[in-house]
Amino acid sequence: MKITPRLKPVQLITTTIALALPCASASAMTELSAINVTATRTAQSVDETLAAVTVITRDDIDRLQDQDLTELLDGLPGLTVTNSGGLGKVAGIRLRGTGSKHVLVLIDGVRIGSATLGTTALEHLPLQNIDRIEVVRGPLSHLYGADAVGGVIQIFTRKGQQATGINAEIGYGSYDTSSSSFGISGAHNNTNYNLQISQLKSDGFSALKDNNPDRDGYRNQSFSARFGHQFSSNLKLGVNILRADGNSEYDSAWTPTSDYSTDFVQQSIGGKLDYSPTAWWDIALSLGETKDETTNITDGSSTSFFDTERRQASWQNNFFIGDESILTLGMDYLHEKVDVSSTYSEDERHYSGYFVQYQRTFGANNFSLALRHDDSDAYENRSTGNIAWGYDFSKSLQLNASYGTAFKAPTFNDLYYVGAWGSNGNPDLSPEKSKSVELGLRGRQGWGHWSLNAFRTSIIDLISWVETPPGSWIYRPQNVNKARIKGLEASISTALAGWDIAGNLTLLDPRDSTTNKILVQRHKRTLRIDADRSFGKTRIGATLQARSYNYNDAQNSQRVSGFGTVDLRASHQLTANWRIQAEISNLFDKDYETIKGYNTEDRSLFAAISYQSK
């Protein structure tokens, strides 16, 4: 069941604006083709996928002019980002109200992140090296195992697709921020390749309020390469690497007069062999290794380090049963090893997962069923599943419903940390477990696309470090907390009076099931609107983002005010190969916080000139 899709634009507009759009011109709407593979581990169109998916293309990345990945993702349907003080600082991802540890991140199919923290440093992954991003909202442990509770973000590196060509860009802006990149790519006969290097530097601003008033800078240099070869009509090989390393300065409340920074490395290496023995059977074998390395530095001296190495392998078989069904059988293996300056009772673990998925189309109905079992030597084995159904009322209106379970594995810190003063990990912890149900309705009319998704997620056995006994200042992780998250996502895209308009509204009710308090750093209402228009060789655009208030503590006593920001952008095609562009961020110089006590950028300007051979 390989389907050629029509892509919805990346960001979508709120239902409030949707009511004002019936008169939008159908001829102004442009439909783009795109395939997503993350939602089912098989190629499908966005329109045919039963899950809620957002696809970001290279054209979107160039158009939006964001400086880093977290800026690009912020405000997508169901997704918000918190930032601890500027470019390259620690960022938190909230996907459908779940935490950063509940989002699985893949680079070309290979999982990346810190096994000690359980999160991924998305702030260090370079945009210039990225070709496409797929964001799937909702539980996906039935296909990917641990950590895919809120969803999966998969990043694809750039790939050669034409005769030899080069791309280059150089830019400069506020806070002495500079960027540059150079790439060469091509495709000849049965071989394609891409090489890309980039750098991003910024003097930044003081990260923490009422602290050391220095400028906390950032430096990131990156390299990516991708190579593919088609040996025959039924055999192809692809290999890829992405590496980013640098330094990020930050503030700490421990000793405000000291200078703090972190040296980091983010690296992913992968290879995949695709073989089709027959017209109805596809086999995919893949290997990968990722590294997440951080070294903490205080006043010029190394104080601690935390390094994660993950090695993984996957074997997947897709059986095409007639024109209407796909049966997928596969297994994954993952080995994690940590090297840290702290004391851990164990420094490695592994697990294996076995999954089966059946997808079928019959009449106006689309159906999928998936089951997975994960075996681990570090925590109790888990079985997860998902069932989804879609019904096409017409070619332009579809109803979707799904139910799925997922789990989050305890981190190395949770299980194996050994503290000098008695605060230790707990090797008897169970994984965090979730159940999610979703109902969606989406349409494709002459004036544009729209969708509504209502969902509810319950999470039990949430891990929390608890003082044991009270008053002892000795902490140990326990499975004690529960959460219940209800939400509604409304999205729309259209063209109106020459403007391409896209946006989304997310309404959340994310609560601790025991205390009924709002979960930390969750916004009950978020809105994003993008508007772009071309005037010949010139294109202008704007992005509006707004969030309601949130709380910075579990007791809901530290309130962080809501805010709204506006960004403007413009680009001009000088020649067929040369383009200039500029962006003004935070146009109205709004003073706001995403984390209480941390600064955000003032009004800032960034301009760039780029070259792309045709």
The Cα 168–Cα 157 span in angstroms is 16
Helices (H), 90-211: 141-144
> Does 10 map to a domain?
no
Q: Residue 208 pairs with which residues in a beta bridge?
A: 598
Taking alpha carbons only, the member of 533, 604, 598 closest to residue 570 is 533
The Cα 154–Cα 176 span in angstroms is 31
Three-class secondary structure of residue 17 per DSSP: helix
> Does 192 map to a domain?
yes
> Does 4 map to a domain?
no
**What are the CA-CA distances from residue 269 to residues 1, 4, 85, 227, 401 (Å)?**
30, 29, 30, 12, 36
> Residue 194, exposed/middle/buried by CB under 10 A (0-12, 13-18, 19+)?
buried
The Cα 443–Cα 495 span in angstroms is 15
> Parallel, antiparallel, or unpaired for β 35-36 and 235-250?
unpaired
Residues 6 or more apart whose Cβ sits within 8 Å of residue 143: 40, 41, 355, 357, 370, 372, 386
Domain of 428 in residue numbering reads as 15-612
The Cα 556–Cα 554 span in angstroms is 5
Residues 6 or more apart whose Cβ sits within 8 Å of residue 465: 423, 475, 476, 477
Token duo for residue 237: 């090989």
For residue 22, whether the previous peptide bond is cis, meaning omega lies within 30 degrees of 0, is no
Three-class secondary structure of residue 315 per DSSP: strand
Check residue 30 and give its pLDDT.
31
**What are the CA-CA distances from residue 383 to residues 354, 355, 374, 409, 434 (Å)?**
10, 10, 6, 13, 12
Phi, psi dihedral angles at 61 (to 5 degrees)? -60, -45
Q: Residue 332 pairs with which residues in a beta bridge?
A: 314, 353
Query: What is the number of residues in the chain?
Result: 614
> Does 3 map to a domain?
no
The Cβ-side half-sphere exposure at 66, using a 13 Å CA radius, reads: 22
The percent helix, strand, coil of the chain (3-state, each to 5) is 5, 60, 35
Check residue 9 and give its pLDDT.
32
Token duo for residue 185: 């790519």
The Cα 419–Cα 401 span in angstroms is 46
Give the max Cα distance, the chain: 70
Contact (Cβ atoms closer than 8 angstroms) between residue 443 and residue 396: yes
Count: domains in the chain: 1
Token duo for residue 605: 């300007």
Helix (H) or strand (E) run with residue 58 in it: helix 58-64
- CB count in 10 Å sphere of residue 218: 25
Mean pLDDT by 10 residues, the chain (614 residues): 34 33 31 76 92 95 96 97 96 96 98 97 97 97 98 96 90 98 94 97 96 94 97 97 98 89 98 97 98 97 97 98 95 98 96 97 96 96 97 95 98 95 94 98 92 98 93 92 97 94 97 96 98 97 98 96 98 97 98 96 98 89
DSSP string, 411-457: PHHHHHEE-TTS-B--TTPPPEEEEEEEEEEEEEETTEEEEEEEEEE
Domain containing residue 412: CATH number: 2.40.170.20
Contact (Cβ atoms closer than 8 angstroms) between residue 164 and residue 191: no
Token duo for residue 345: 């009772």
Contact (Cβ atoms closer than 8 angstroms) between residue 124 and residue 266: yes
Three-class secondary structure of residue 59 per DSSP: helix
- CB count in 10 Å sphere of residue 420: 7
Check residue 21 and give its pLDDT.
36
Check residue 212 and give its pLDDT.
87
Token duo for residue 342: 């702290």
DSSP assignment letter at 586: S
Check residue 35 and give its pLDDT.
85
Contact (Cβ atoms closer than 8 angstroms) between residue 313 and residue 109: no
Token duo for residue 107: 């680079």
Taking alpha carbons only, the member of 403, 388, 465, 410 closest to residue 434 is 403
Taking alpha carbons only, the member of 181, 164, 177 closest to residue 219 is 177
> Does 326 map to a domain?
yes
Q: Is 609 left (phi over 0), alpha (psi -120 to 50) or beta?
A: beta
Contact (Cβ atoms closer than 8 angstroms) between residue 266 and residue 245: yes
The Cα 38–Cα 107 span in angstroms is 11
> Parallel, antiparallel, or unpaired for β 151-157 and 103-107?
parallel
